[in-house]
Structure 1
Amino acid sequence: MKGIGVSPGIVIGKVLLKEEKKIIIEKKDIINCEDEVKRYKVAMENSKSEIQDIYNNVLKSMGEKEATIFEAHLMILEDPEMLQQIEKKIQDDKVNAEWALKEISEMFIAMFDAMDNEYMKERAADIKDVTARLMKKLLNIEDVNFSQLANEVVIVARDLTPSDTSQIDKKKVLGFITEIGGRTSHSAIMARTLEIPAIVAVKDIASIVKNGDLIVFDGEEGLIYINPEEKIVKLYEEKKEEYNRYQKELDLLIGKESITTDGIKVELSANIGTPKDLESVLNNDGEGIGLYRSEFLYMDRTSAPTEQEQYEAYKEVAQKMKNKPVVIRTLDVGGDKELDYLNLPSEMNPFLGYRAIRVCLDKVDIFKTQLRAILRASAYGNIKIMFPMISSIEELRAAKAILEEVKNDLHKENIAFNEKLEVGIMIEIPAAAIISDLFAREVDFFSIGTNDLIQYTTAVDRMNEKISHLYNPFHPALLRLVKMVIDNAHKENKWVGMCGEVAGDPKLIPVLIGMGLDEFSMSPISILKARGIIRNISQEKMRDLAQQVVNLPTATEVEKFIEKNINLKN
């Protein structure tokens, strides 16, 4: 089988299937209510035991603050009022436990949700989480917890959500394969950040394999073998050794400068989602954080993180990077990143809708809380703020005005922050690229987000495997926009980075050097390979080649031209 290889590495391991089971709750008449109550109590005790284990593990690995949510879940399962009403419903109405749980939990959720109190609204979300877990116990639906795996596995799923990938224990997960996705889907990006080999867009793989099957794959080429012959296993064991040798050669570049043969120094930074990703950044000698995806702090929870929680996360990254640049992108949700507690609307075109800066400018309280946390953390390192999905000068000015309000509040409270903190925007919408000369007068830097810029420029949904062949980073229109943005920024003496996946593409790195890109931000696993390429090319020569590239008419011709004229050996 073959899919799209999105994160390199050779994998040989046993399948763990993430099965998608739809929860269907039917009302049934019960004769023996005592047995039904007993069944309900067993499910409840199992749920309590499971949550207690999770609480203990989170307390040990992440701390008391992160474990608080599970403590609240335990309290709900020990609340006599709700539990007695469920038992009473079973006995009085002679119905099955699932139906009683559904009816009573929905009543409590609606009651708490209607209260004009944020704390009580959070309890409604907690009840929803706990009862969903309890319902799965009653229906014998097993959820896989990727942070608590007993053995080494290869995950196979239709898809993995950002929450799924953020829980992955990289010591236990050898790699993963999904049926949908592309090089820029969030599961793919997280795989590279975690340095876990991965393949996406493998049709029907989740219905073909079963738990315990031996699976062998190459995360770069996208080749997959299910229960292969011994000779295939042996071949891939040799490939794995060869890959490990190559990684050791790259390690020799640690501590070396990212500088071209004609003396042009660039910055090789990393994209991260949480402070946990820093280990990989430091191991791969990242020179900064070019994209801190702050939305991961908001995921896998029932309410938005507090100012203090965010401040501590941002501060930790700033301090561990020891004054190297840390670019924090403000909350970027919507599109394929949903947060239940924000009640984002269902939309026909979510990628073109209510997301990113549009949400922040609407939910100002949430935006201000984040900006306060970032500013406070800026006193401990070289933090920069970046606004996502800016399409107009009006949006930028509105965001900056709110930032100034927050700064004034902190001044009044005598809270320290970096007064000279740089403010930039992501260039990921064609409109922003086209008027980048105007934006360059109002910001300190740009970071080009090619994942969405390709999508919006070519009108290709990057999550749609049917048209994935049209999503092409070598498209001349994209390359012309990139060059335009870099030129416009440099005219105003502003620096330009790139945090989309194109920044780590070995074929396009020389072209970007030729265009004058100042900073490349990529998955940590790509940094040393990129350094090897940069140290073997001349910017002056690449400048001429880049000019020829943007004048080519097709993506195919661009790619062939690069392969023919640029030596990519590192």
Structure 2
Amino acid sequence: MVLEKNRSTEDIYLVGIGVSPGIAIGQVNLLDHRYPVYEFFIEADEIDAEIERFRHAVAQAATQLQRIKERVSGQVHLREHLYILDTHKLILEDEMLVGATETAIRTQRNAESALRQVLKNLRSLFDNIEDEYLRERRSDVDAVGERLLRILCGAAEQLTSRVEKESIIVAHDLSPAETMQVDRSRVLGFLTDKGGRTSHTAILARSLDIPAVVGLETITSQVEDRQTIIVDGESGIVILNPSTATINEYQDRKKHLAQLAQELEDYRNLEAVTTDGVRISLCGNLEMESEFKLAHKHGVEGIGLYRTEFLYLGRQQPPTEEEQFEAYCSALDKIGGQPITIRTLDIGGDKFVAGLNLDDEANPAMGLRAIRFSLQEENLFRVQLRAILRASGRGPVRIMFPMISGVAEIRACKRILREVITELEQEGLACNPDIPVGIMIETPSAVMIAPFLAQEVDFFSIGTNDLIQYFLAVDRGNQHVAYLYDPFHPAILRALKMTCDAAHAAGISVCICGEMAGEPLYTLVLIGLGLDGLSMNPSCVPRVKRVLRHVSKQQGEALVEKLLQLPTSKEVSATIDQQMRVLLPDLFARPLL
């Protein structure tokens, strides 16, 4: 947690990750997840009884999850998230958790000790995953493990439904089951030590329309029950002991945001076009079924990034061609015939498929992952290409290859793609032989040879999350250097400009599908750089569209020209902030720390 500054002797400002917009002002309700866990070795003749005790805990956990599902299934806003509870029930049947724990018990550990060791091993696998969404799925395993440990230790089930008065829940973490059971009439907001933008707590908080800030690291040790706090779920700001003046200020902002949210509803069906008539495509980054409803609600124009890794996650064997084909066709149906860009597998297979048995890597971020892995595991790659191509016979599908670093890689991908198209045609299976082919620009080498790459493909999609990390040599997950991860770094602006210029010189389109796309503060800059499209979390679309419809591309180009002359990210950031406050003061009138 970062202590930013005190505006008075009362106000203490903390900054976390804002994951669900809105402002909450109220008193703390501190949930204590602590309970004693005893770990010890058992005698050989106690092993069978200990395994039976563990199995009983598994059965009890499944019963609890089913009971929670029945309790919340009548709430319309949560129905689309019930699959999370089903996922947790499936984890209770997974050999990687249950079977491994029983095996560990046979080494004469008690159930708690065995379970903790297995959970530690599983966490290490997830920690090596680059994709933030998939890395956050570790929380599912943690939630199931926590539930089992509570049962084994005889601790009471944590029930957020028992909150007795309006308050802001503060916890080390909240499982999906705990989050689902909150009473929206009493819970004003969430604050947690753990979590990220794509954690289930964050996703559910948005569905519940409850302001939430996560990743505060030590919030549970810095607050007390009934202490007054303010939560700004938009900026990630949390204020402890707010003064009367600060409370009044945030109450005014809360009214303003409510009015603004109402105005944004009017933008759903409007075109994403600048004041000088430039059309910008606004698409969604999607994969979960629940996200498709959000896409329609917020007026996305297709799927700019359809992640496929979830199909491989936590399986003993890779998904079959038919399983993938059905998933892609389902996505086409749910998006209502709008275009969908499917990204091929973007992770090292050893972290997903047990049967591949790849060696652990010292630096997986720069190792055998993404397209490198697909080209090595060509049979796996061909199965996915067949499924994508068959889906292209059902609707407007584009294919996108991740982490391309050179021309040879894209040519190898296109060769295999052509061979698969020929196979399908010979088998009489429908596909689009002219399926648009694109690549992710995520590495410095791809930026530097973008003119050559642009001659090979139909479109570019810039993955700014990885591009920034690799360009600045900064590990976003390393708390010691994360502050250096800066989208406003002059080098990043130049990299984006070079990529856009190369794409347009070759007559192909270029979009962004990283987090930068969904930040309204960046919108004018991205237009000025020459982006043709932006793909983002669907909930970000209305505000980005509002910015688009109130600015011109000419204004963006003038701003970019000025930014490219600045030597530091601090100057770049200040210039952008000042410009946006002038152009759209009601949207960017947030307090500066």
TM-score, normalized by length of structure 1?
Answer: 0.76
2:540 alignment partner, one of 509, 526, 535: 526
Describe the superposition over 1:330-360 as per-residue Cα deviations: whole angstroms up to 9, x where unpaired.
222259x943736564433232223222222
Match of residue 453 from structure 1: 467
In structure 2, the partner of 1:370 is 384
Q: For residue 352 of structure 1, what is the aligned residue in structure 2?
A: 366
1:116-147 deviation digits (Å, cap 9, x = unpaired): xxxxxxxxxxxxx99998676434478989xx
Q: Which amino acid aligns with 1:9?
A: G
Candidates 7, 10, 18, aligned match of 1:6:
18
> RMSD of the alignment, in Å?
5.0
SS at match of 2:429: coil
Determine if the alignment matches structure 1 residue 242 to structure 2 residue 230. Answer: no
Is 1:221 aligned to 2:235, yes or no? Answer: yes
Contact 1:191 1:198 in 2 (8 A): no
The aligned amino acid for 1:257 is E
Q: Is the 8 A contact 2:308 2:344 kept in 1?
A: yes
1:437 aligns with 2:451: yes
Task: Flag structure 2 segments of 5+ consecutive residues without an equivalent.
Answer: 1-12, 74-78, 119-142, 588-593
The aligned counterpart of 1:98 is: 111
| Deviation for aligned residue 1:425 | 0.8
Alignment match, 1:382: 396
Taking the aligned partners of 2:147 and 2:375, their CA distance within structure 1 comes to 35
Letter in 2 for 1:404: R
SS in 2 for 1:328: strand
* Shift in Å, 1:25: 4.5
Corresponding residue number in structure 1 for 2:130: none
Could you tell me which residue of structure 1 aligns to residue 525 of structure 2? 511
Is the contact made by 2:315 and 2:353 (CA closer than 8 Å) also made in structure 1? no
| Partner Cα distance (1:448, 1:170) in 2 | 39
Shift of 1:442: 0.7
Partner Cα distance (2:319, 2:302) in 1:
25
In the TM superposition, what is the alpha-carbon distance from 1:34 to its structure 2 partner?
11
> 1:79-129: CA deviations, max 9, x gaps?
9xx99x99xx99xx9x78639988xx9xxxxxxxxxxxxxxxxxxxxxxx9
Question: Contact 1:189 / 1:523 at 8 angstroms: preserved in 2?
Answer: no
Answer yes or no: is 1:317 the counterpart of 2:331.
yes
- Asked whether the 8 Å contact 1:425–1:447 carries over to 2, the reply is yes
Q: Is the 8 A contact 1:372 1:406 kept in 2?
A: yes
CA distance in 1, matches of 2:377, 2:36: 33
Aligned to 2:424: 410
Distance (whole Å) between structure 1 residues aligned to residue 251 and residue 470 of structure 2: 41
The equivalent of 2:309 in structure 1 is 295
2:576 is equivalent to residue 562 of structure 1: yes
Q: Verify the 8 A CA contact 2:65 2:177 in the aligned structure 1.
A: no
Alpha carbons of structure 1 residues 377 and 535: separation in structure 2 relative to 1, 3 Å: same
Question: Whole-Å Cα distance in 1 between the matches of residues 93 and 576 of structure 2?
Answer: 58
8 Å contact kept, 2:161–2:181: no
Structure 2 counterpart of 1:439, one-letter code: L
**Structure 1 position 62, deviation (Å):** 8.8
Alpha carbons of 1:488 and 1:31: their partners in 2 closer, same or farther (altered >3 Å)? closer
Name whichever of 409-418 and 233-242 sits farther off. 233-242
Query: 2:296 aligned with 1:282, yes or no?
Result: yes
In the superposition, relative to structure 1, how do residues 140 and 168 fare at CA in structure 2: closer, same or farther (>3 Å)? same
Q: Secondary structure at 1:540's aligned position in 2?
A: helix
Query: Residues of 1 paired with 2:157 and 2:407: CA distance?
Result: 46
Per-residue deviation, 1:220: 2.4
Amino acid at match of 2:486: N
Tell me how far apart the structure 1 counterparts of residues 402 and 263 of structure 2 sit (CA, whole Å): 37
Give distance in 1, aligned partners of 2:534 and 2:565: 23
Q: Deviations 1:410-465 (Å, cap 9, x if unpaired)? A: 22332212232211111111110111101101111001111111111111111223
Per-residue CA deviations over 1:466-512 (Å, capped at 9, x if unaligned) read 32332111111111110111111111110000011112222321122
User: Structure 2 matches for 1:56-95, cutoff 5 A?
Assistant: none
Task: Go from structure 1 to structure 2 and tell me whether the alpha carbon gap of 1:450 and 1:474 turns closer, same or farther (over 3 Å shift).
Answer: same
- Does the CA contact (< 8 Å) of 1:440 and 1:494 recur in 2? yes
Q: Which runs of 5+ in 1 are unaligned?
A: 106-128
Q: In the aligned structure 1, how far is the partner of 2:308 from the partner of 2:46?
A: 52
Give the aligned residue type for 1:349: N
CA distance in 2, matches of 1:15, 1:344: 46
Residue 264 (str. 1) matches residue 278 (str. 2): yes
The sequence identity of aligned pairs, in percent, is 38
- Alignment-derived partner of residue 352 in structure 2: 339
- Distance change >3 Å, CA 500–CA 158, structure 1 → 2: farther
**AA of the residue aligned to 1:339:** F
Deviation at 1:552, TM superposition (A): 1.6
Tell which deviates more after alignment, 266-275 or 215-224: 215-224
Return the offset for 1:250. 0.9
Cα separation, 2, equivalents of 1:350 and 1:21: 35
